[in-house]
Amino acid sequence: MLIVTGTIGIDTIHGPTGSADAVMGGSAAYFAAAASHLAPVRLVGLVGEDWPADHRTMLESFPGIDLSGLEVRAGGETFRWGGRYEENMNNRETLFTHLGVVEDTPPAVPEAFADSRFVFLANSHPAVQAGMLEALPNREIAVCDTMDLWINIAHDDLVSLLTKVDGVVLNDSEAELLTGTRNVITAGRKILEMGPTFAVVKKGEHGAILVHRDGVAAIPAFPAEDAAVIDPTGAGDSFAGGMMAHLARLGRTDFEAIQESLAWGTVMASFTIAAFGLDGVRAADEASIAERMSQFKAIGRIG
């Protein structure tokens, strides 16, 4: 069974295609939404009393998400994040991050979740991510995400977390910030020296590279026209959701399985970016996912 913890946020987004105010977001929300199309997923998260009712309705509309680990903290404020995309939507500036309950005591992992085997630690404070691992002794694989904020303000906690996980998913600029190396393969290798068995370095619209102790693999992004890219927020989390959910349904964690799972992550991310908030990934269904996967396979044929 797959489990995720991370942020559940209220996002404000500005970009070349328009703006959206106070939409449902957060790393764990995007992950769970994308993953739930492929496999059931357990969510452990924390919001404040200000969490909008329609955000709960949105999360509940994904049938595969078990929300019994979602806590509303009395007196707490929900995580809020604002971002602005440049004309080139690979570039994003964070306008504000209000951590709110993310700085509080983390939510408890329900006892019924303790048998989870596939664990994803979506973006959050690395000490919170590490704490979650202690509650999941039956894990077969633990993968974490991280981002610039945590590399900058919680570097030592992050380095310690990396000694405890099997894999890490991060984007190219974050890999460079963490390792001081621009080349993604070399940066990936440096990350493996810090502990994990594999690193997936994402390169926005240019796809992703898997650097694993057993080999290296590359995957293109799903080629999207302008009209299909409204808001890239959550693309990384949705990628991770598709990837981990595919591993969970395969029941495997070897190099070939991880390589195969990259395609499912790519396809799920391509739904997320088509609208603000969770609307894009909400619109996906079994038929549209299968259709996009077959288009993607055809695009990547080699030999």
Sort 84 into a burial class: Cβ within 10 Å, 0-12 / 13-18 / 19+. Answer: middle
Minimum Å distance from CB 233 to ligand AMP? 5
Amino acid identity at 247: L
* For ligand AMP, the closer CB: 51 or 81: 81
* For ligand AMP, the closer CB: 179 or 272: 272
Minimum Å distance from CB 115 to ligand AMP? 26
Minimum Å distance from CB 102 to ligand AMP? 7
Of residues 228, 161, 162, the one with CA closest to residue 193: 162
* For ligand AMP, the closer CB: 33 or 258: 33
Of residues 107, 103, 144, 96, the one with CA closest to residue 123: 144
* For ligand AMP, the closer CB: 106 or 236: 236
Minimum Å distance from CB 211 to ligand AMP? 20
Please give the residue ranges that form the binding site for ligand AMP (CB under 6 A). 7, 9, 11, 25-27, 81, 97, 123-124, 147, 149, 233-237
Separation between Cα atoms, residue 42 and residue 65, nearest integer Å: 6
| Residue 147 and residue 175 in contact, taking contact as beta carbons nearer than 8 Å | no
Q: Give the H or E element holding residue 85.
A: strand 79-85
* For ligand AMP, the closer CB: 136 or 144: 144
Minimum Å distance from CB 243 to ligand AMP? 13
For residue 286, give the 3-state DSSP assignment: helix
| Residue 297 and residue 48 in contact, taking contact as beta carbons nearer than 8 Å | no
* For ligand AMP, the closer CB: 11 or 172: 11
Minimum Å distance from CB 197 to ligand AMP? 22
- Residues paired with residue 301 on neighbouring β-strands, in sequence order: none
Minimum Å distance from CB 287 to ligand AMP? 25
Token code pair at residue 65:
């998400």
Residue nearest to ligand AMP (CB): 25
DSSP secondary structure letters along 9-61: EEEEEEETTEEEEEEEE-HHHHHHHHHTTTS-EEEEEEEETT--HHHHHHHHT
* For ligand AMP, the closer CB: 71 or 237: 237
